[in-house]
Structure formats: structure tokens, C-alpha cells
Structure 1
Amino acid sequence: MPVIQRRALRAAQSRSALVTLGVLGTLALIAIALSRYGLSTLAVTHSAVRDWLHGAELYAYREPVSQAGAALPPALAILLAPLVLLPLRAAGWILALSGVAALLLATVVLAGPIARRYGRRRTPLVLAAAGLALLTEPVRAALGEGRPELLLFGLVVADLVALRRARRAQWWRTDRHLPLADRIRQTWADGSWAGVGTGLAAAFAVTPIFFLAGLLVLRQRRAALTALTTAVTTTLAGLLFAPRETITWFGDTLWELNRTEPLNDAANQALAGVLARLYGFPAPPVLVWLSFGVLLLAVGLIRARSAYAEGDEVAAFTMIGMAAAAFGPMTTPAELIWLVPAVLVLADGAIHRGTDIRRTRKIRRGEALLGAAAISGYALLLAAPADLLAINGYALALIVLVSALPWRPAPATTQRPGHPARRSAAIPVPRGG
């Protein structure tokens, strides 16, 4: 056999071995997470939906020990209904594998451009980033508790793909006389479907609604309208199939903020939970919470607009996600998934600054600071939650990163005809590198 063929064969065998090890490691991690967290959230959802299919009210079920009730919109309950036909463990595995697939696809979107920018192969970096993300507490908790957070995360990140394509494509010149198949391909290629992922996520959960508002702040009115239309259509479909549950959800259940856990529980790392524990009350003082929460949300949205205007869509969406998690009344470690891309932004910012030819003292200092922040942030996500919940570690990380996460300015892009130039945001710093 020629030398070149032998080398190619060895390389293929090495890749196959690495893929096999990766798959086995992922399955082992899922099994450990399921055993550690015991599918606590999915168990409540599984029982509530099962009783609902047998004639009971969806939101009447209460877990016998914790008295936790189901806190999912009817649209999501309809989507998860087929899992009730399976044992709880099997349903947990299906949801976990779906979540891992969504995380992998999201990592391609988030980390792929970094590899291309530095002239590296995309696959090794994406697989490494996905493997590191699987080890973090938000991902472990989402998999182990049986929560759909990774699927929602993937839906929102899908809109990043559409917005990137819309920036490059001249979608306003779409030929409406093309055959249907060609128009569908053109719609996919030009990103005019931006907003569909956010709309679906907003119909399935409450937190993604902030991304719908974020699209308006980013001046993506077409995507925001698409997201709103998708969310309303999906909700109306839920109303058609489950009218009583939909009315109950919007009229009563949605406002039961402590339905799953008390607001002052240590697991609640939102601003509301921190204030409730500081004041020693079951719930935070409403005016204090709204005052600080709205201020933090405004800072996150304004800084996200600045990041998006300079070409860093990942940092923009990350800041919106973190601001929503901080403002929401109940945010457990499983819902802190947007801290993971924040660490990626910090690490890439450190490398990006390090590639500057004029390595001044200021650049070296900024590079060291961003590198230390990335390492510290990842260590925070690796740590056991019990060590951090007592000191509000995740909540402090949210507040700091919403206010100080840098972004990476991209080269200037061609402005679309008829679109006014973007104005600078009121809070444009720190920019990063």
C-alpha cells in the first residue's frame, strides 16, 4: 500500500476512534447527569401531562413531596405529550439526546466563525467547545433535570444564522416569480426566515420573550414581526387543541411565580431570588426588584444593540439572554445556559486582542484580563452548585457580565440601500478587542 494511502487510512482510523470516544463520553455524561439530578423537572411534567391526557386538568397536578406543579405553556405540553407514552427514564434519554444535538448545532454557529477567522479547521474547535460546554453546570442540570432549555437555546441560536445570512444577502430583490421549491431555497439562503426560532421558543417558554423584544432593540423589525407572528400562531394552535389549559395558563398559572420553587430558594439565582434572601422575605419587595431589574435589563439591551451594530451577533444575543435570566423572577442553574457563550466570547476576545501586531502594554493588559475572566468564568460553570448558590455566585456573574461583557468589532459591512446608518448606543463600553 502506498505511503499516502497508509497515512490517509491511519488518519481516518484516528478520527473514527475520536468520534467513538466522544459518543461514549457523551452517553456516560448523560447517564451520570440523569442519575445525579433524577429527572426532577421532567417527572413533574411527565405526571401532569399523563393525568391531563386521562381527563384531569394540566395544572392541577402537584408533586406529593415538594408540592411543585407543572409550569409549562400548553403548546410545550402538547409537544411533549408523546413522551408520556414512554417510561420516565426513556423520555429523559430522548430529551437529553435531543438537547445534546441542539447544543452541538448551536456550537457550530457560535464557534465556527472563530475557527474560520484564524484559518483553522472548524470541526476540531467545534467538538472541543461542545465537549467543554457539556461539562458545565447549566448543561448538566438541563440534561439531568429533564428540562427543554437546550432545545430553546438551539431555537434562538438558529436565528443567528438567519440574521447573518440576511446581512450578506440582498433579500429585498427576491424574485417572486420563481417556482415554489426555488423560492423556499432562496428564503433559506437569504435569511428572511429570521425570527421563526425565537417565536417558537417564546411560545414554549417565558424567558425567550425577551429575545423578541431584543430583536426590536437591535432594529431587526422584520425578524421581530416574524417572531411575533410565529409565537402568536403557535399559541393559537395551543388554544385550538387545549382551550381550557391555555386560558388557565395566561389567566392564572403564568403569574404563580413560586409554582416550582419558592422565590427565596437558594437555587434561584435571578435578581428576585437574591433580593428575597437579602430581605429575608418569601418574595422580594416588588418595587425594589422592578427598579433594579429594569435598570439591569435596559443596560443589557443597550449594550447588546452596540455589540450587534459592530458586527458581534453572538455577544449581542448573549447579553440579551443573560439580562433576561437576571431579570426573570425564577432562574435556576439549568436556565443559565447563556453563561456558556459568554465564556466563549471572553476567550475569543483574549485571543483576538493577542493577534494585534502592535502589542502595547494596554493590549497585553487587556489580553491578560480577558483570559483570566474566561478561565474564571469556566471554572465557575464547572463548580458544584452547592458551593456557589449560598454566595449567589451565578447571580453575581450575570450582573457583572451583563454590564461588562466585551464584544469583538467586525469589519465594516456594506450598508443596505434605504437603510439609515446605525447610531451609537448610549452605553458603548467596554468594547473588548
Structure 2
Amino acid sequence: MPVIHRRALRAAQTRSTLVALGALGTLALISIALSRYGLSTLAVTQAAVRDWLGGAELYSYREPVTQTGAALPPALAILLTPLVLLPLKAAGWLLALAGVAALLLSTVVLAGPIARRYGRRRTPLVLTVATLALLTEPVRATLGEGDPDLLLFGLVVADLVALRRARRAIWWHTDQPAPLRDRLRQIWSDGSWAGIGTGLAVAFAVTPVFFLAGLFVLRQRRAARTALTTAVTATLAGLVFAPRETLTWFGDTLWEPNRSESLSTAGNQALAGVLARLYGFPAPPVLVWLSFGVLLLAVGLIRARSANAAGDEVAAFTLIGLAAAAFGPMTTPAEAIWLVPALLVLADGALRRRAHARRSRSDRFTEKLTGGTALLGYVLLAAAPTALLAWDGYAFALILLVSVLPWRPAPQTVEELRPRPRTAAIPVPRGSGR
């Protein structure tokens, strides 16, 4: 066998071994997370949906020990209905595998452009970032508790793909009607489906509503209208299949933020939880919470608009997610998933500064500060010490990143990278033959 063939075979075997080890490691991590967190959220959801299918009201179920009730919109309850037919462990595994797949696809969207910018292969970087993300507490808690937050995260990130395609789209106008296959391919290529992911996420949860508002703030009006139409359509579909539950959700359940847990519990790392524990009340003073919360949300949306104008749509979406998590009345570590892309933005910002040949002293200091913050933040998210909850570490991280998360300037275009023709120091008259 030639040497080139042997090397190619050896490389293929190495890749297969690494993929197998990664799959086994992922399965082991999912198993540990399911055992540690016990699928607490999915157990309540499954029991409530099972009673609902049996004729009871969806939101009347209460867990016997903790008195926790289901807090999911009817559209999401309808989507999760097939999981009722499975045992709790099997349903947890199925939801966890779907969440890992959504995380991997989201990592391709978030980390792929970074690899291309530095001239590196995309697959190793994406797999590395996805592995590091799996080890963080927000991802572990989401998988272990049986939350669909990773799926919602993937739906929102999918709109990033559409917005990127829409920005690079080349419209072809023709008088002849194109076949359905060509029209679908064009819709996928030009990003005209932007907003569908956010709209579905809005129908399935409350927090993505901030991304819908963020699309208007980012001046993505077409995507915002698509998201609004999708959300309304999915909600009306829920009204058709579950009219009583839909009316109950929008009339009563939506306005009970302490339905799953008390707002003052240590697990609530939103601004409302911090204020409730600070004042010693079961819930924060409404006027104080709204005053600080609206100000924080405004800062996040304004900075997201600036980041998007600078060409960093990842930082823009991350800022919206961080502001939504900080402003929401209930944010557990599993719902603080946008801390993970925030660390990726910080790390990439530090690498960008390091790549510049000419760096001033302030640039070197900023590079070390940004890189050190990213490293320290990841260590804390991976270790997740108990003191992080006791000292409101997640909450302060959300508030701080909303205020100071840097965004990265857009990469240079081909025209900007193309060398400009040099002009002669001494002008030569035209037609001189020189």
C-alpha cells in the first residue's frame, strides 16, 4: 500500500476513534446529569400533561412534595405530549439527546466563523467549543432537569443563520415562475425565513419575547414581522387544540412567576430574586424591580443595536439573551444559557487583539483582562461551586456582562483586503508612453 494511502487510512481511523470517544463521553455526561438533577422539571411536566390527557386541567396539577406546578405554554405542552407515552428516564434521554444536537448545531453557527477568520479547520474548533459548553452548569442543569431550553436556544440561533444569509443574499428577478424546489432553495439561500425560529420559541416560552422585541430594535423589521406571525399562528393552533388551557395560560398562569419556585429562592438568579432576598420578602417590590429591570433591559437592547451595527450579530443576540435573563422574574442556572456564548465572545475578542502586530500597552492590558475574564468565567461555570448561588454569582455576571460585554468589529471584506494600486510619487502625463 502506498505511503499516502496508509497515512489517509491512519487519519481516518484516528478521526473515527475521536468521534467514538466523544460520543461515549457525551453519553456518560448525560447519564451523570440525569442522575444528579433527577429530571425534576420533566417529571412535573410529564405528570401534568398525563393528568391533562386524562381529563383534568393542565395547570391544576401540583407535585405532592414541593407543590410545584407546570409552567409551560399550551403549545409546548402539545409538543411534549408524545413524551408522556415513555417512561421518565427514556423521555429524559430523548430530550437530552435533542438538546445536545441543538447545542452542536448552535456551536457550528457561533464558532464556525471564528475558525474561518483565523484560517483554521471548522470541525475541530466546533467540537472543542461544544465539549467545553457541555461541561458548564447551565447546559448540565438543562439536560439533567429535563428543560427544553437548549431547543429554544437552538431556535433563536437558527435565525442568526437566516440573517447572515439575508445580508449576503443576491436577488435574481425573473418573469418565469420557478419550480417549487427552486423556490424553496432560494428561500433557504436568501434568508427570507428569518424570524421563524424566534416565533416558535416565543410560542413555546416567555423569555424569547425579548428576542422578538430585539429584532425590532435591531431594525430587522421583516424578520420581526415573520417572528410575530409565526408566534401568533402557533398560539392560535394551541387555542384550537386546547382552548381552555390557552385562556387559562394567558389569563392566570402567565402572571404567576412563582408557580414553579418562590422568587426569593437561591436558585433564582434574576434581578427579581436578588431584590427579594435583599428585602427579605417572598417577592421583590414591584416598583423597585421594574425601575432597575427596565433600565437594565434598555442598556442591553441599546448595546445590542450598537453591536449589530458594528457587524457582530452574535454579540447582539447574546446581549439580548443576557438582558432577558437578568430582567425576567425567574432565571435559574439552567435558563442562563446565554452566559456560554458570552464567554465565547470574550475569548474571541482577546484573540483578536492578540493577533494584531502593533499593540499598545492599553491593548495588551485589555487583551489580558478580557482573556482572564473569559477563563475565570468558564472555570466558575464548569465548577459551579455552591457559593456561586449563595453570593448571587450568576445574577451579577448577567448584570455585568449586559453592561460591559464587548463586541467584535466585522471582518474586512474582500475589497478592503485587496491591495490598492500604488500611485507614483511624481505624476506622469497621460499619453507619454511611460
TM-score by length of 1: 0.94
Contact 1:106 1:158 in 2 (8 A): yes
Other-structure match for 1:430: none
Distance in 1 (CA, whole Å) between partners of 2:391 and 2:57 is 39
Range moving further from structure 2, 340-349 or 351-360 = 351-360
Other-structure match for 2:65: 65
Shift of 1:90: 0.2
Change (3 A) 1:202 1:175: farther
The structure with the largest alpha-carbon Rg is 2
Contact 1:137 1:385 in 2 (8 A): no
Distance in 2 (CA, whole Å) between partners of 1:110 and 1:47 is 36
- Residue 350 of structure 2 aligns with an amino acid whose one-letter code is A
Shift of 1:172: 8.2
Within a 5 Å distance, the mapping from 1:212-361 to structure 2 comes to: 212-361=212-361
4+ residue stretches of structure 1 with deviation over 3 A? 170-176, 411-414
Change (3 A) 1:274 1:174: farther
Other-structure match for 1:138: 138
Change (3 A) 1:371 1:234: same
Alpha-carbon displacement from aligned partner over 1:206-241 (angstroms, at most 9, x marks no partner): 000000000000000000000000000000000000
- What percentage of aligned pairs have identical amino acids? 81
Contact 1:171 1:192 in 2 (8 A): no
Distance in 2 (CA, whole Å) between partners of 1:240 and 1:387 is 47
Within a 5 Å distance, the mapping from 1:20-35 to structure 2 comes to: 20-35=20-35
Distance in 1 (CA, whole Å) between partners of 2:386 and 2:355 is 38
Change (3 A) 1:372 1:175: farther
Shift of 1:387: 2.2
Determine whether 1:378 maps to 2:372. no
Other-structure match for 1:45: 45
Contact 1:207 1:324 in 2 (8 A): yes
Give the 3-state SS of the residue equivalent to 1:263 in structure 2. Answer: coil
Give the 3-state SS of the residue equivalent to 2:291 in structure 1. Answer: helix
Alpha-carbon displacement from aligned partner over 1:142-169 (angstroms, at most 9, x marks no partner): 0000000000000000000000000011
Distance in 2 (CA, whole Å) between partners of 1:411 and 1:265 is 44
Shift of 1:411: 3.9
Other-structure match for 1:195: 195
Shift of 1:110: 0.1
Distance in 2 (CA, whole Å) between partners of 1:174 and 1:378 is 51
- Residue 241 of structure 2 aligns with an amino acid whose one-letter code is F
Determine whether 1:163 maps to 2:163. yes
Change (3 A) 1:175 1:299: farther
TM-score by length of 2: 0.94
Other-structure match for 1:422: none
Distance in 2 (CA, whole Å) between partners of 1:176 and 1:347 is 49
Change (3 A) 1:176 1:283: farther
* Count of residues paired in the alignment: 414
**Structure 1 unmatched runs, 5+:** 415-433
Distance in 2 (CA, whole Å) between partners of 1:404 and 1:360 is 21
Within a 5 Å distance, the mapping from 1:92-131 to structure 2 comes to: 92-131=92-131
Q: Aligned-residue CA RMSD in angstroms? A: 1.2
Change (3 A) 1:4 1:394: same
Change (3 A) 1:196 1:175: farther
Alpha-carbon displacement from aligned partner over 1:371-411 (angstroms, at most 9, x marks no partner): 00110110121122522110000000000000000010114
Distance in 2 (CA, whole Å) between partners of 1:310 and 1:412 is 12
- Residue 79 of structure 2 aligns with an amino acid whose one-letter code is L
Distance in 2 (CA, whole Å) between partners of 1:205 and 1:379 is 29
- Residue 120 of structure 1 aligns with an amino acid whose one-letter code is R
Shift of 1:361: 1.0
Contact 1:212 1:227 in 2 (8 A): yes
Distance in 1 (CA, whole Å) between partners of 2:337 and 2:112 is 19
Contact 1:195 1:227 in 2 (8 A): yes
